[in-house]
Structure 1
């Protein structure tokens, strides 16, 4: 398999999509990985497997409609395998295995049959001190954007998924790319103030535009960098509530095709007014786990690089 991922939005040819089948029981409070899941566990509103399976089937139908080759993980009994973006990612023609939370190592094993189809010299695994997850890694032109957390209390935050060693690892692996890290706001207890990954507060769409949540960045300078890079007229600013609902976590199938949650009415209207085809699907139940459409995908091949 010849991997090719140079941006977030070129025509998608092949992707690993998660699965909600055999998802297991509602986690205990102690098992919650993020504050949004915890909130729904405590409220008794944690999503049910049939609802999540339905939502993912709707997503797969859209991918099938556009001729995308969809791979899925091998089944693990009673285990959450929805968020494949966490466990690996592709830059150019290199597959990078994430150093994820130890409890989730089995998820990597479940996609090994796909990794086995890739040239072994193009598959890397960072050393153990390097933490990095796909939701924090974003490609745009000659940039690699990386979400991180620079607080001295990094080790105390289960929501801090990519460390500065992770940023340096990518810098060393791709010396010809421009690496820009963003210090993200984190919370263990309030999902409305927690950017679990970079794609929870920012994501490019098309060739020139992006969705952004200003308060997702700990340093205003990081937000201003993106404002200057994209231009204010090309940014769709989402609110705290929209960030909580995961409005920045849509998914591009092509430079003019975006899959979005059907309730994102303000965002979807903006996308259409800017010439995008918006494929609306239900995904609000999966969103209760602080992940949405981008989180559920691990793109392997996009057709080309836009200029």
Structure 2
């Protein structure tokens, strides 16, 4: 049996699902893209190539190996984008929760069924059909569960709106001893710089008491200010609109003091090192063209 344990975003990682870029399929048609950044790159002829993305993901796999992290990969589905394992499920405490993902991505979930089957049946959670949730919107921080959501009336029209209030309520009911705090995110189907696809695209806690944040990703200023107060202004790295677009908040913590980051994030990586973090730099720019980065492509299963 697989004994899951995730209490926060930064405790020492022991086991993770890393997505795969193999057999990623052809360049999608615009109508088949899930986000505005992918559409930009399809139109510009700069959509990432499979061999480049495979190479980028292998760099991350090598860092996990260096830190003795057990790495699981999804079973391979031919011609399917399986990079973003964070979307398909997420772990809270000792429970794995299956995402009610965009319907045409259901087979991605089946590719980790072999792991699901290793978890004690009472710790496998399938949310009711009306609850939509993706792991990128769920951030654990000890007694808190932070959840990105969108409650506008145009929710059904926004392919970028991934987690709804029904899911927020369901997660609160599953974990009554936790404080669940929802944040309304800015959504756009057409402008990647005005779109926070998930909460981890505009916010992520790091270390023991710090966070990376982008103000404009939050629709309601007071919710953004609550986070700034919670972590303390001196502990926050504010990213610009361009840095959010490049996914600067979507780094990934191996432990409280080791972070995997994109090598081009020079301002962030300098700040991290100045604050005592070890930064493991990788090339992940091609994967970033699909509006997802390091946290999006990893699904942590066990942390200390």
Give the alignment's TM-score, normalised by structure 2.
Answer: 0.99
Aligned to 1:59: 60
Aligned to 1:151: 152
**Which SS does the other structure have where 1:204 is aligned?**
strand
> What pairs up with 1:1-307 in 2 under 5 angstroms?
1-303=2-304
Give the whole-Å Cα distance in 2 for the aligned partners of 1:301 and 1:151: 35
Give the whole-Å Cα distance in 2 for the aligned partners of 1:169 and 1:132: 10
Could you list the runs of 4 or more consecutive aligned residues of structure 1 that deviate by over 3 angstroms after TM superposition? none
Give the whole-Å Cα distance in 2 for the aligned partners of 1:119 and 1:82: 26
Shift of 1:152: 1.1
**Which SS does the other structure have where 1:226 is aligned?**
helix
Give the whole-Å Cα distance in 2 for the aligned partners of 1:70 and 1:229: 33
Give the whole-Å Cα distance in 1 for the aligned partners of 2:174 and 2:34: 29
Shift of 1:257: 0.2
Give the whole-Å Cα distance in 1 for the aligned partners of 2:183 and 2:83: 25
Shift of 1:100: 0.2
Give the whole-Å Cα distance in 2 for the aligned partners of 1:4 and 1:216: 29
Give the whole-Å Cα distance in 2 for the aligned partners of 1:43 and 1:169: 41
**Which SS does the other structure have where 2:285 is aligned?**
coil
Shift of 1:167: 0.4
Q: Which runs of 5+ in 1 are unaligned?
A: none
Q: Deviations over 1:61-95 (max 9, x none)?
A: 00110000000000000110000000000000000
**Which SS does the other structure have where 1:289 is aligned?**
coil
Give the whole-Å Cα distance in 1 for the aligned partners of 2:154 and 2:28: 26
Give the whole-Å Cα distance in 1 for the aligned partners of 2:79 and 2:131: 29
Q: What RMSD in Å do the two structures reach over aligned CA positions?
A: 0.4
Give the whole-Å Cα distance in 1 for the aligned partners of 2:65 and 2:122: 30
Give the whole-Å Cα distance in 2 for the aligned partners of 1:110 and 1:188: 28
**Which SS does the other structure have where 2:130 is aligned?**
coil
Shift of 1:225: 0.4
Shift of 1:118: 0.7
**Which SS does the other structure have where 1:294 is aligned?**
coil
Shift of 1:141: 1.9
**Which SS does the other structure have where 1:254 is aligned?**
coil
